[in-house]
Amino acid sequence: MTSTSFKTQVSSLYPSRNDITLFFAELVARIFWFIPPESIESPATYTQVCSYWRAVARSSPEIWTTLTLEPPAKLRTRTDADSFEAALVDWISCASNSTIDLTIHDHAVSKWPLEFRESNALELYVMVYRRVVVDYSNKWRRLISSISWDAWDFLSEVQRPVSLTALEELTLSVRSIQPDWILSSDPPFYDSKYLHTLHLNISYEVKSYPFLEALLTNTVRVLTVDCAAGIFEDFLRPFLDLSQLQRITHMSLTRIHWTDATPDPTFPMATLMNLQELKVDGSVLGLSRLLAVLTLPSLVKLSLSSKTYPSDGLHGPIVGPALLSFMERKSHLGRGLLALTLTGLLSDDSYEVITLSSLSNILSTDAASEIQELHIEAQVGFEDPNMASLMEILRYDSNNSERQLLPHLTTFSATCLCFPSLPTHSPFANFVHSRWWPKDSKHTMPGVAKLERLVLEDCRLSKKTEKWLRMCYESGLSDK
């Protein structure tokens, strides 16, 4: 063998310099993927380390798919605006054929530096981001628009020939009602075949709803409505009657209110056939009246919250009976809940919203028999010695038919609950013991699913219970 052929064979065992560079580029790009750049104002440091790292970053589209816009610190003149727009366009070019999740911020002007407020920076900023959104409309997968871009203006600017073909999720702010606003012959999102999620942030007391008819396309399945001034019955009556709601599978309504405790006989019952998950935050009256008019055959997840609306003590525990009636109606429809969340609603005070006896009745319905997840959160600082009764309600006893509640429960979480230490036993420990056992233990409870996850946050337990609970987590019970 000649020396030349020997060197050739040996060199073939090792990658060339170009191969090593290529390998390192893929590895470096993968590392960059875990810490992608997110803002023009706060660029990733690795793009400024060296030309090689910068080149790798710029040729890796996957790390440029999340962009957050915020007013630049240096934005005073039209030249500054042009530079800012050029930087945005460059970012978009780095994403190549990948779509982008875009979030636009316009922080309150009162919080900006004085010199920024006194300039025309806001106008320049708005001009730039609107033009970029429209000019590159086919790039946005998830778009969270700013407060300063009202939904009506947005709808006007994204009509033809704008194409939002990649749009999957949209968040808009509604600051005004324009009843004379007219769609063009081609409505917005005419080619947004993947738009499935819509979030609306409303900053005034909403009484009209024509914007929803324009936004709820045939493809939208997830709807969130958050109204800073509250959602009242004047809005809910026509809202619940919208035919487009029959396509919604997941819905969240925030700040539901009701102005009169007297049931309104003219308020129609509403049946939403395909709704699978409902989250409602509101006052005592708002929750109870909404539950009274809803029938949801397909619902599997229900979350109710009145954490920020303390009861005024005038109406008694009205949410409990309303939820019980809701569950009884659902019991006749053949499909029960899989998950129930109650936030700021549980107490044994007769002037609060759901008493423990009401909860026991609710969980005894056929619609609750399939529940796998139960989440209960109290007010911060809430302490009620009757919480021992709650754990007695949830404790499973196969020999007592009155206690055979939630046989399929696998996840339980509690927040801000106080479990007092009693001299003879620990109700909380008894609850866990009846539903969970170590993996190799022969002790099982016939007819009940094994508890898999137990999550506690800001709950006060006795030292003995805390020690025993740590042993359970070490033996396989999950706290995640």
- Give pTM, 2 decimals: 0.85
Neighbours of 322 (CB within 10 A): 24
Residue 128 lies in a domain: no
* CA separation for the pair 133, 154 (Å, rounded): 10
Domain total in the chain:
1
Pairing of strands 373-377, 277-282: unpaired
- Residue 302: strand, helix, or coil: strand
| Domain presence at residue 443 | yes
pLDDT of residue 280: 97
Distance of CA 458 to the CA centre of its chain: 22
What is the spatial distance between Cα 316 and Cα 456, in angstroms, rounded to a whole number? 29
Residues 6+ apart with CB under 8 A from 52: none
Q: State how far the Cα of 437 lies from the Cα of 472, in Å rounded to an integer.
A: 8
Evaluate whether residue 209 is within a structural domain. Answer: no
Asked whether residue 405 is assigned to any structural domain, the reply reads yes
H helices within 271-313, ranges in order?
A: 284-293
SS3 304: strand
pLDDT of res. 184: 54
In 3D space, the residue among 253, 272, 132 whose CA is nearest the CA of residue 201 turns out to be 253
pLDDT digits (tens, 9 = 90+) for 123-175: 888 899 999 999 999 999 999 998 888 888 888 787 767 788 999 999 998 87
Report if residue 450 sits inside a domain. Answer: yes
For residues 217 and 190, the answer to whether their CB atoms sit within 8 Å is no
Q: What is the pLDDT of residue 14?
A: 42
Do the domain assignments include residue 464? yes
pLDDT at 204 (0 to 100):
75
Low-confidence ranges of the chain (pLDDT < 50): 3, 6-20, 108, 423
Confidence (pLDDT) at 72: 82
Helices (H), 141-232: 151-157, 210-215
Q: What is the pLDDT of residue 20?
A: 42
Could you count the other beta carbons within 10 Å of the beta carbon of residue 210?
Answer: 13
Which residues make Cβ contacts (< 8 Å) with residue 112, sequence separation at least 6?
71, 121
In a domain, 129, yes or no: no
Q: Is the CB of residue 308 less than 8 Å from the CB of residue 270?
A: no
- State the pLDDT at residue 10: 37
Strand pairing report for 222-231 and 373-377? unpaired
Residue 461 lies in a domain: yes
What pLDDT shows up at residue 9?
46
Containing structural domain, residue 465:
372-377+389-480
What pLDDT is attached to residue 102?
95
